[in-house]
Amino acid sequence: MEDATVTQLQRLEHAWHAKGSQSYADPRPATRRALEDMHPQSTHKVAHVWRTEKGNTITTGDVVIFEQEGNRGVGEVVLLYNSDGMDFVILFSWERCRYQPHSDSVRLRARQSPLRICASGLMTSLIVSTWVPDHVVVVLLPVQFR
């Protein structure tokens, strides 16, 4: 069923939904102060849901595939926000382990390396096994990323 659904979504020529941030809210005081440090003289809003081009929704705390400068990575979403009309995501990037036994899954070390990228680099959310920081976690890859 997953394969059939993914195939149908990929065959859609035009997006049938609103992609990008679905709604914005004012940030909490601590978050606002952190955003003001990164983007002084800017207005800030946080987003709670990001929708990818293929209809997949991503929220804070999800583990996602992202693309940055042509390279793909996996990480946990910490914050989605808008600053002066541009959407960004802060995430903890995870690193691949050397031994990769299956093509439909990947083993990653859940090291919390902070990274900020343009939110348009978010590709899809993933299913992960239970994880603890700095331990190995198994991530199941959707069909189109295997």
The tally of domains found in the chain comes to 1
CATH number at residue 50: 2.30.30.490
User: Which tens digits make up the pLDDT trace of 112-127?
Assistant: 889 999 998 998 888 8
Residue 35 structural domain: 2-145
**Residue with structure tokens 């983007």?**
39
Around 88, how many Cα atoms within 13 Å sit in the side-chain half-sphere? 16
What count of other Cβ atoms lies within 10 Å of the Cβ of residue 26? Answer: 10
Q: Give the pTM.
A: 0.77
Instruction: Give the integer Cα–Cα distance in Å for 40 and 56.
Output: 32
pLDDT digits 0-9 by tens, 95-113: 888 776 666 788 888 888 8
Cβ(41)–Cβ(73) under 8 Å?
no
